[in-house]
Amino acid sequence: MNAGLEHFLTVGALLFGLGVFAVLTRRNAVGLLMGVELILNAANLNFAAFARYVEHGIDGQVLAAFVIVLAAAEAAVALAIVLAMFRNFGTVHVDAVDRLRR
């Protein structure tokens, strides 16, 4: 059996669902960020699959390449912030961070 567009989209949707699930359930800041990565890669898979089956061009792949680079930049900034959080709060548990609204 050949893999068609539907198969890629199903995997993409599953990845997206897992990513959202991770974001909603994880309380560890690094775990949360991994969920975000899953969401971004779900979109990437969609872009690549659509470029192959719908567009028959390279725009979708170019977009996916940009997203990969951006995801790296975002991870760098986000991890730096998590590092600052660890220095200030002594933990990477997001529930421990509740100084505001007091």
Candidates 10, 88, 91, 93: give the one binding another protein (CB under 8 A). Answer: 88
15 touches 78 (CB < 8 A): no
For the chain, the straight-line distance linking the first and the last C-alpha, in angstroms and rounded, comes to 60
Three-class HEC string of 28-63: EHHHHHHHHHHHHHHHHHHHHHHHHHHHCCCHHHHH
Binding mask 38-77 for another protein (x = CB under 8 A): -xx-xxx-xx-xx---xx---xx-xx--xx--x--xx--x
- Directed axis angle between helix 59-89 and helix 29-50, to 10°? 180
Give least dist CB 70 to another protein, A.
5
Token code pair at residue 57: 């061009």
Give least dist CB 42 to another protein, A.
6
Q: Which residues are near another protein by CB under 8 A? A: 9, 12, 16, 19-20, 23, 29, 32-33, 35-36, 39-40, 42-44, 46-47, 49-50, 54-55, 59-60, 62-63, 66-67, 70, 73-74, 77-78, 81-82, 84-85, 88-89, 94, 97-101
